[in-house]
Structure 1
Amino acid sequence: MKSFLNSDFLLENEYSRILYHEYASDMPIIDYHNHLSPKMLAEDTKFDNLSQVWLDGDHYKWRAMRTLGISEKYITGEATDKEKFDKWAYTVPYTLRNPLYHWTHLELQRYFNISEPLSQVNASSIYERANEELKKDNYSCRGLISKMNVEFLCTTEDPTDTLQHHKILAKSNFTTKVSTAFRPDNAIIIEADGFVNYIELLSEVSGTTINNFVTLCDALEKRIAYFHSHGCRIADHGLSHMYYTSFNENDINTIVEKRLSNKTISGDDMNTFKCAVLLFLSGKYHQYGWIQQFHLGALRNNNHRMLTQLGPNTGWDSIGDWLQAEKLSKFLNHLDTNNQLCKTIIYNLNPRDNEVMASMVGNFNDGSVRGKIQFGSGWWFLDQKDGMEKQMNALSNIGLLSCFIGMLTDSRSFLSFPRHEYFRRILCNLIGRDIANGELPNDTKWLGKMVQDISYNNAKEYFNI
């Protein structure tokens, strides 16, 4: 029997071990999509205790604790940091076979050199030991990132953001390159309660009076130019599904004018507007030489009672089941036909659609750029062993795994970077298993290069780092 989470964790055979230890493990990390706080990075924030760096904002852990029947007082409520940690420690043994169990202990090992499984029994000891480490200078936000050999990371900001913290980082001595991604969801989700107020803010920040579709596009283009001038080269969108329909400018102007006057618009109007804005934005991304990302498939804000109480991104989202293929095809085809299709990464949240997405990206890989259209790594509910293997198997069966740009954290946590190790171990084991089964040749030099490409080199080339 293997010991838990030893150096050969997830590596089933000698080929997997060679691929990981000799080729993958020491590659730097390119984390091209996350939700880390630029403010905390700019200020190089230090944490008073393990709860602050580990539990704050982590809705993965919060969902597990709620499932176990733990009161919200100990999750997002008024309990002390130590009380919250104790409740998390109590929860951990109940997360067996959930990826949280692996992530928890990888993070304890990699950042704090703590190897014993966390439980209610040793909670106080582990809390005190970790807190002592957090007092050290190299345990600030930047220090935690440097520990994981992160070469590049990309946070995610709204078009109205001033990027003041990125300006500070650009002038700092932080060795990790930090950039941002342009995330215009608030300008796209026209049915949102705060849409009109948001447009007023966008008007103010852009210096453009927005009263129709044309002026909205003007404002967004100004913000794209502003982000570009501060090093942004990536856009990101969190959508339930892609939108595509025929329209003309007058139709869209009417829809925007009605919505800004707080008049009711139809579901068809909403979809038409979203299509028009997305096509405009994608055209601009191509013009500026950016890369666009589409995270598709989340059914958000399901529990309205708790959403009202705690707000979004607090653990009330799940996997949606929309039909994805047809609209996505028409959207990408429109851009391709008009020579406006830039490098594109498509992430899928419903494993039912893995083969749909893997085959879709092949329709628009035209030979102009290696891996131009990417089927992104398993994300959110799928960034675990089974989800990652299914995504890579679908990509292998239908496309070229060798051109894959690999893993990202998509996290708000400064302790999340061992997920790259987790991914690399799973990747190496997938390939090592095929070698052992005689399905791939025992050419570890070539396969090792492939592993290094997926772990690091492909992303470095793709994002021009």
Structure 2
Amino acid sequence: MSSNTTFINDNFLLENKFAEELYHNYSKNQPIIDYHNHLSPQHIADNTIFDTITKVWINGDHYKWRAMRTLGIKEEFITGNASDKDKFINWAKTVPYTMRNPLYHWTHLELARYFDIYDLLNEKTAEKIYIETTEKINSESYSTQNLLKKVNAELVCTTEGPIDTLEFHQKLAKNPIGTKMSTAFRPDKAILISNDGYNAYLDTLGDVSGVAINTYSDLCSALKKRIKFFSQNGCKLSDHGLDQIYFEEFTETEINTIFKKKRENRIITPEEALKFQSAILLFLAEMYHEEGWVQQFHLGALRNNNARMHKILGPDTGWDSIGDYPQAQKLSSFLNALDSKDKLTKTIIYNLNPADNEVMATMIGNFNDGSSKGKVQFGSGWWFLDQKDGMTKQLNALSNMGLISCFVGMLTDSRSFLSFPRHEYFRRILCNLLGDEIKRGELPNDMEWIGKLVQDISYNNAKEYFKF
């Protein structure tokens, strides 16, 4: 168990008695609603038991991979053919060099919360910790479902594309466990018309939906059928990972012509692609409103920067960065077009460029119309910003220009079953921020009210907002 002499102790990141009281009495024991992640639904439904700590903790984690590469560790020990033990030892060698990167905090929180290990991970402790964690992980009490129970996860929401069968969500629905699993609909491959393999993807979508996709109208019909299918299987959210919101003026004739050109394998211009992407995104957003879903937009990533390594390893392997796209005008026009028809559903906007924090914090206020609490949200610090400084800046921007009291809080956005202490990390940062302002006299010493605010941001607001 933790003591106040270990690095990860009871009051980690809590700098005064007010922060401690807020965290321990109001936030710590709230259940987790993880409304956006990239966990494998098959692993959850099958209650997978992993062979080694490496398989559940290092494989697939491009945060760790980037750090290891920066330190000069060969790819063999990252994504290559090295043994699980050698990959773990090379990660352990890296950890002391990650100080001041959130990986250092996350690593030791995860060792503490899942394995009751409070030793610092480094080259000296690597062998012992590898043996201890692997012995535990390779047991029924560390199956995927039990890992979710350990952190009091009430609900996890994975992310699937329109062609997914949702068979594992259906399997779990028939055999429910303590943690509920839902899905978020992510149709980006049907939107990004300039991507390689677009036509082949539409052929598959046509097969799955039972709609021969020859025209733009056919595409809309196929997507509508898949949205209805997702709704029938308990889906309440969509999600998009886009560089920026698309909003160009277009006519129906133009979109039909552009789509026909693409299906005939003719080249379309960048301007034509933007018009098409604008049209299909608006169509989807109106469908989400019809279904009563929450729509999520993750904006601002500049992906696959290293063409050589992308060719070798593929996407989502650690070659992405923050982009500096213009965001405000198109986002405003897109939200306004939907709102003008009264077809703007609940919306969460995640920002990857901290320079745009205040843009997003003010944009949401334009479309919070009183129809529901926090209808349009500025999402939590995402990807490169889900660290102490990034979370604090997001919380401050939202507080300064909106109502932090309506915020739906944290999510993991992770592929790892050991990533859930990020909720604890966020909650500690939130409580310390508020506790510090109580100490300075900037907030009243009203623990009952501020404690309720903390409970709401930790759990209650998400519970009310998503209505799972």
Secondary structure of 1:271 counterpart: helix
Deviations 1:351-395 (A, max 9, x none): 000000000000000001000000000010000000000000000
Partner in structure 2 of residue 440 of structure 1: 443
Deviations 1:333-353 (A, max 9, x none): 000001110000000000000
Matched-pair contact (CA < 8 Å) for 2:34–2:411: yes
Normalised to the residue count of structure 1, the TM-score between the two structures is 0.99
Pairing partner for 1:350 from 337, 350, 353 = 353
Please state if 1:27 is matched with 2:60.
Answer: no
Partner in structure 2 of residue 101 of structure 1: 104
Partner in structure 2 of residue 141 of structure 1: 144
Q: How far apart are the structure 1 equivalents of 2:164 and 2:234?
A: 14
What is the alpha-carbon root mean square deviation over aligned residues? 0.9
Deviation of the 1:136 alpha carbon: 2.7
Q: How far apart are the structure 2 equivalents of 1:204 and 1:250?
A: 26
Please state if 1:16 is matched with 2:42.
Answer: no
Deviation of the 1:3 alpha carbon: 4.9
Pairing partner for 1:383 from 378, 383, 386 = 386
Pairing partner for 1:328 from 303, 313, 331 = 331
421-430 or 3-12, which deviates more: 3-12
Partner in structure 2 of residue 190 of structure 1: 193
Matched-pair contact (CA < 8 Å) for 1:212–1:254: no
Pairing partner for 1:412 from 403, 415, 421 = 415
Q: Which stretches of structure 1, 4 residues or longer, exceed 4 Å deviation after superposition? A: none
Partner in structure 1 of residue 284 of structure 2: 281
Partner in structure 1 of residue 314 of structure 2: 311
Matched-pair contact (CA < 8 Å) for 1:19–1:432: yes
Matched-pair contact (CA < 8 Å) for 1:47–1:53: yes
Partner in structure 2 of residue 151 of structure 1: 154
Instruction: Give 1:289-308 correspondences, 5 Å limit.
Output: 289-308=292-311
Q: How far apart are the structure 2 equivalents of 1:323 and 1:39?
A: 38
Partner in structure 2 of residue 174 of structure 1: 177
Partner in structure 1 of residue 204 of structure 2: 201
Deviations 1:97-128 (A, max 9, x none): 00000000000000000001000111010011
Matched-pair contact (CA < 8 Å) for 2:6–2:118: no
Instruction: Give 1:56-67 correspondences, 5 Å limit.
Output: 56-67=59-70
| One-letter amino acid of the counterpart of residue 357, structure 1 | M
Q: How far apart are the structure 2 equivalents of 1:212 and 1:151?
A: 42
Q: Can you give the 5+ residue segments of structure 2 that lack an aligned partner in the other structure?
A: none
Q: How far apart are the structure 2 equivalents of 1:437 and 1:430?
A: 11
Instruction: Give 1:387-402 correspondences, 5 Å limit.
Output: 387-402=390-405
Secondary structure of 2:226 counterpart: helix
Partner in structure 2 of residue 425 of structure 1: 428
| One-letter amino acid of the counterpart of residue 106, structure 2 | W
Q: How far apart are the structure 2 equivalents of 1:208 and 1:128?
A: 52
Deviation of the 1:131 alpha carbon: 1.3
Please state if 1:253 is matched with 2:256.
Answer: yes
Q: How far apart are the structure 2 equivalents of 1:245 and 1:340?
A: 18
Q: How far apart are the structure 2 equivalents of 1:400 and 1:99?
A: 27
| One-letter amino acid of the counterpart of residue 409, structure 1 | T
Deviation of the 1:139 alpha carbon: 0.3
132-141 or 326-335, which deviates more: 132-141
| One-letter amino acid of the counterpart of residue 392, structure 2 | E
Q: How far apart are the structure 1 equivalents of 2:346 and 2:292?
A: 9
Pairing partner for 1:6 from 6, 9, 31 = 9
Please state if 1:365 is matched with 2:350.
Answer: no
Secondary structure of 1:247 counterpart: coil
Q: How far apart are the structure 2 equivalents of 1:107 and 1:436?
A: 30
Deviation of the 1:174 alpha carbon: 1.0
Deviations 1:384-437 (A, max 9, x none): 000000000000000000000000000000000000000000000000011011
| One-letter amino acid of the counterpart of residue 291, structure 1 | V
Q: How far apart are the structure 2 equivalents of 1:294 and 1:173?
A: 30
| One-letter amino acid of the counterpart of residue 461, structure 2 | N
Q: How far apart are the structure 1 equivalents of 2:212 and 2:383?
A: 37
Aligned residues between the structures: 465
Deviation of the 1:45 alpha carbon: 0.5
Q: How far apart are the structure 1 equivalents of 2:5 and 2:133?
A: 27
208-217 or 404-413, which deviates more: 208-217
Q: How far apart are the structure 2 equivalents of 1:62 and 1:186?
A: 26
Q: How far apart are the structure 2 equivalents of 1:375 and 1:97?
A: 26
Secondary structure of 2:414 counterpart: coil
Pairing partner for 2:267 from 264, 281, 291 = 264
Q: How far apart are the structure 2 equivalents of 1:358 and 1:141?
A: 36
Q: Can you give the 5+ residue segments of structure 1 that lack an aligned partner in the other structure?
A: none
Q: How far apart are the structure 2 equivalents of 1:373 and 1:142?
A: 32
Deviation of the 1:2 alpha carbon: 6.9
Partner in structure 2 of residue 127 of structure 1: 130
Secondary structure of 2:467 counterpart: coil
Deviation of the 1:137 alpha carbon: 1.4
Please state if 1:45 is matched with 2:58.
Answer: no
Q: How far apart are the structure 2 equivalents of 1:372 and 1:327?
A: 19
Matched-pair contact (CA < 8 Å) for 1:188–1:277: yes
Partner in structure 2 of residue 214 of structure 1: 217
Deviation of the 1:135 alpha carbon: 2.9
187-196 or 398-407, which deviates more: 187-196
Deviations 1:243-275 (A, max 9, x none): 111111110011111111111111111111111
| One-letter amino acid of the counterpart of residue 200, structure 1 | D
Normalised to the residue count of structure 2, the TM-score between the two structures is 0.98
253-262 or 421-430, which deviates more: 253-262
Q: How far apart are the structure 1 equivalents of 2:7 and 2:279?
A: 52
